[in-house]
Amino acid sequence: MRLVDIAFVACILIAVAVVSTRDPDEPWAVALLILALAGVAASFATWLLMRGRPTRGRRAPRLTSSVAGRRGLEVGAVTALLLWLRAVDGLSFVTAAFVVATFVAAELVLAARPNSSR
């Protein structure tokens, strides 16, 4: 959990440093900002998923760190792709829907567990 917190703070610091010191006409600065914001989204999503939510007086079971990490990375990848599409002026409702639908389908396949006969 501590590593997720460190990644979150580091990505925010990188994003703030890039925004405050670099010119937006520099392609590498835009790429670094996109990666930093994707890292913020990924680490925040992982943190939220690892926290667990209370339900009717009981704590809900936390997701395992591998599942929460995988879903956090998926959120970060979706964020990076959408921001990159926006940066190259290729973002529309249709392209955003395809990006999100692809990751939703991938998560459904990865989360599916075969029924055991035992």
The model's pLDDT over 73-117, given as tens digits with 9 standing for 90+, comes to 999 999 999 999 999 999 999 999 999 999 999 999 888 876 655
C-alpha distances in Å from residue 2, one per residue of 9, 12, 15, 43: 11, 16, 20, 11
- Type of residue found at 36: A
CB contact at 8 A, 13 and 45: no
Q: In sequence order, what are the beta bridge partners of 59?
A: 54
What does the mean pLDDT of the chain come to? 88
Beta carbons within 8 Å of 96's beta carbon, 6+ residues apart: 82, 85
